[in-house]
Structure 1
Amino acid sequence: MPFTPAFFQVRLGFAPLPAPLLRALEGIEAECSVDRASILRLRFRLKRNFIGDLDPPITDIFRPNLPVSVAVAAGLPIPEVLLNGYVREVRQSGAGAREGTTAEVVALDATATIMNLIQQPMPHPNLDPATIASIIFGRYAIRPFPVPTAPTRTVLDTTTMQRATDARMLREMARALSYECYLQPDPVTGLDIGHFHPPMTSLPQQGVLSVDFGTATNLHDFTTGYDGLAATSTISVGVDPSTGVPLPAPAMASVQPPEGLEPTLFRTIPPPITRPTARDAANPAELFRQNQAIVDRSSRSLTASGRVDAIKYGRVLRPGLPVLVRGAGRAMSGKWYVSAVSHSISTAAWTQSFQASRNAVGLTGTEIFVDPLGMV
């Protein structure tokens, strides 16, 4: 893809950043993730004004829970929103005229701010987790994207009692289902979408990253790791509440499609087996689902991190979607699932650093290392 100009846009309270703040802005860091709250950091250089005060007055402007968003564009006329956050903290360092004074504004997404403020009991009668998640996201005008689960309990006459904050309730339900729960802006409207679903590892890749590929190289500092003994099977015994009969709940392999030729769990001989204890499952079906969640998570024992040349890649690398990597050798090339992306933005550069994982080693032979958007 040819080099294309990039620019960024910061919005404060749904309006563009005022000119004095934009001149004082030194850099932006945005960390987007599928397993924790996304974080936005704005760094400003402060100066002394004619009355001896620091200017611009960062603490007076960036008040708690003030909406802040950052968007970037690479060769496209419409910027794509990276993160919608709410101000949580303002840090200030430096006091001398020689060293100068800097201020850092820290904003987090709604799950760590406005969705995590009020704690009160809330009943959810006869509702499954996906519906509860949709209701919670709807309270904050967040468009939900839930995936329903097969019921393991009788829904009728069952009341789920919420005793934690909305954000903590969502995290607890996602942990029990081995779901991902995170917020991500819509690329067109820029409004947050509330994700509550299993990892979308089987979706088409969002792009192609190239290591040591001549002029096509857009991935630098690519590091991989493989914990060969992390993947494990699980087996537990639960008691049927209606008959009192003990029933085994074995989970021997991951149900997620393998992202390579050799699944990690099948490479270890003999395969490890874990016997989880102290589970809170109401029946063997829930126990099996919890055991399966352990297997699915442990099978993703291949990890990777790297730094993407954002200008050559030409767009935003999104967590929660797969990406293809080529040029890293037969064992480590192929499909990777992106779990976190960190953006570093200034007036001179824009880089994207990412973390990813996969549950298999090697190429399957079905990978198509063609990036349609890379030709735009």
Structure 2
Amino acid sequence: MPEKAFQLRCGGAPAVDLHPDVEFVEVDDSVDGSFFTVRLRLTAGPDGEWSHLSDERLTPFAPFGVDLGFTGGGGPAGAVGGLLGGGAPGPEPLAEGYVVGATVRLTGRDAHLDVFGQDPWAVLGQEEKAVAWPDLADSDIAKQILEAAGFEADITPTAPLREAAGTTVVQRGTDAALLRAIARRNGFEVRFVAGKGPARCRFGPPALGGSPQPDLAVRFGAAGNLRSFEATLDGRLPLAVRAEQVAPETRGTAVAEAALPAQRLTGRTTLADLAGGALARAVRPLRAPGTLLLTATPTADPSELSRQAQAARDEAAWLVDAVGEINSDAYGHVLRAGRTVLVKGAGSLHSGLYYVTRVVHRMRPTGEYLQRFEARRNAVGLDGTEAFGGGAPGLPLPGL
């Protein structure tokens, strides 16, 4: 059985001197951002000072990283550079960002320091601005913001290019708020992905393609690796989106409609297939059952109105939310947010492809490794393309 391992990094350098005092390491990684907590034991010196409290590496906005995962060896837990086990290839980068604060707790029996950190969203949310962004597409705005902040990025181009004579994007808030807003209206995610080197930002649609991560299996006998799995299907979601606005130049009404999801489906049956007929019989729709009227960002370009309507339709298509807890000893891999995974053993309706949106990792030096995850689907059932039994751990996202 591979050994579990963690590695702390301060300013890009291994911080092995901190490892003996680690009680646990936790990384909350999601498509919306990642946070981490490191709990360190404190000891009092003869001068009455506590260890770690004056460590400059643990002060706010000091660079900090967390690697976590498995080694290739199966030897007893030991100290090779402060890690558990001694094999290769070792843990993988899971969080890359900055210390943002700490909590000291002193009791009669215990003394510890909880160090809190966040990915680069921490620095992008520190300054509110009023800035105009003329003659740019949303992807160009994202590229300029990220490059000005010193980050490398994988940018999926967007259209249209907004000419100042028609529409100009005006930022009134932080860079973080603007990046999230322009990503949302394009149906994109904007997230920082830890890797070998500085975290890079991905501005693009959900990564639903490529090879899934190793399978998750529930109630699957000796091959099972899930302690629990729960899937919730919500039928009260929009089945179509309609956007209307007054065109700035012609004063006429511009209309955009999106009836079907445009992104890859994770199964065979969408909510419209599952419940559209029953809903149409139960209500008297004005146009179509389950229609969402969208208040879109004003624009002089009809294609942008269509893009916003489609983005809202794609978001509304996620009809299943799943949560689960992994038996990490049986799984033997690090599940990553922002990638797909196949679930088996949940029946023909709920087995299949899921998009992982959040994973909370917690590891102790004793070797205990907990992984709790959240995932979702925009269609249920099996579509016949599932290749169960495969999986590609550790593959980077496209472009990263």
Return the match for 2:110 from 100, 111, 115.
100
One-letter amino acid matched to 1:267: L
- Please give the TM-score of this superposition, normalised by the length of structure 1: 0.89
In the other structure, the counterpart of 1:41 is 37
Give how far 1:149 is off: 1.6
Comparing 340-349 with 52-61, which one deviates more in the overlay? 52-61
Secondary structure of the residue aligned to 2:128 is: coil
- Please give the TM-score of this superposition, normalised by the length of structure 2: 0.84
Is 1:125–1:157's contact at 8 Å kept on the other side of the alignment? Answer: no
One-letter amino acid matched to 1:224: A
One-letter amino acid matched to 2:114: E
Is 1:342–1:354's contact at 8 Å kept on the other side of the alignment? Answer: yes
Structure 2 CA distance for aligned equivalents of residues 372 and 47 of structure 1: 44
Secondary structure of the residue aligned to 2:347 is: coil
Is 2:135–2:162's contact at 8 Å kept on the other side of the alignment? Answer: no
Structure 2 CA distance for aligned equivalents of residues 248 and 109 of structure 1: 39
In the other structure, the counterpart of 1:281 is 298
In the other structure, the counterpart of 2:263 is 256
Distance 1:309 1:58, change over 3 A: farther
Distance 1:360 1:226, change over 3 A: same
Q: Please list the CA deviations of residues 58-117 of structure 1 after superposition, one character each: whole Å capped at 9, or x if unmatched.
A: 665511101111112422424310001211111122332xx2122111001111x22222
Q: Please list the CA deviations of residues 255-306 of structure 1 after superposition, one character each: whole Å capped at 9, or x if unmatched.
A: 12221111113222324112234x3321443333222222211110201011
Q: Please list the CA deviations of residues 35-65 of structure 1 after superposition, one character each: whole Å capped at 9, or x if unmatched.
A: 2x31010011222222233223266551110
Structure 1 CA distance for aligned equivalents of residues 329 and 197 of structure 2: 21
Return the match for 1:207 from 214, 225, 229.
214
Give how far 1:363 is off: 0.9
In the other structure, the counterpart of 1:181 is 190
Q: How does 1:1-376 map to 2 (within 5 A)?
A: 3-19=1-17, 21-35=18-32, 37-57=33-53, 61-74=57-70, 75=72, 76-96=88-108, 99-111=109-121, 113-151=122-160, 153-154=162-163, 159-186=168-195, 189-268=196-275, 269-270=279-280, 271-277=289-295, 279-283=296-300, 284-347=302-365, 348-371=367-390, 373=392
Give how far 1:239 is off: 2.8
Distance 1:372 1:162, change over 3 A: closer
Q: How many residues align?
A: 364
Structure 2 CA distance for aligned equivalents of residues 339 and 102 of structure 1: 31
Give how far 1:352 is off: 1.7
Is 1:26–1:43's contact at 8 Å kept on the other side of the alignment? Answer: yes
Q: Please list the CA deviations of residues 330-373 of structure 1 after superposition, one character each: whole Å capped at 9, or x if unmatched.
A: 11000000111111111122222111000111111221102255
Q: Please list the CA deviations of residues 151-201 of structure 1 after superposition, one character each: whole Å capped at 9, or x if unmatched.
A: 174478865444432222211211222211110113xx2431101111122
Q: Please list the CA deviations of residues 131-153 of structure 1 after superposition, one character each: whole Å capped at 9, or x if unmatched.
A: 22122222343221111123174
One-letter amino acid matched to 1:79: P
Is 1:152–1:286's contact at 8 Å kept on the other side of the alignment? Answer: no
Structure 2 CA distance for aligned equivalents of residues 60 and 336 of structure 1: 42
Structure 2 CA distance for aligned equivalents of residues 287 and 253 of structure 1: 16
Structure 2 CA distance for aligned equivalents of residues 365 and 206 of structure 1: 18
Structure 1 CA distance for aligned equivalents of residues 15 and 67 of structure 2: 12
Using the aligned pairs only, state the percent identity: 32
Structure 2 CA distance for aligned equivalents of residues 143 and 311 of structure 1: 35
In the other structure, the counterpart of 2:75 is none
Structure 1 CA distance for aligned equivalents of residues 391 and 30 of structure 2: 25
Structure 2 CA distance for aligned equivalents of residues 124 and 206 of structure 1: 39
One-letter amino acid matched to 2:8: V
Secondary structure of the residue aligned to 2:313 is: helix
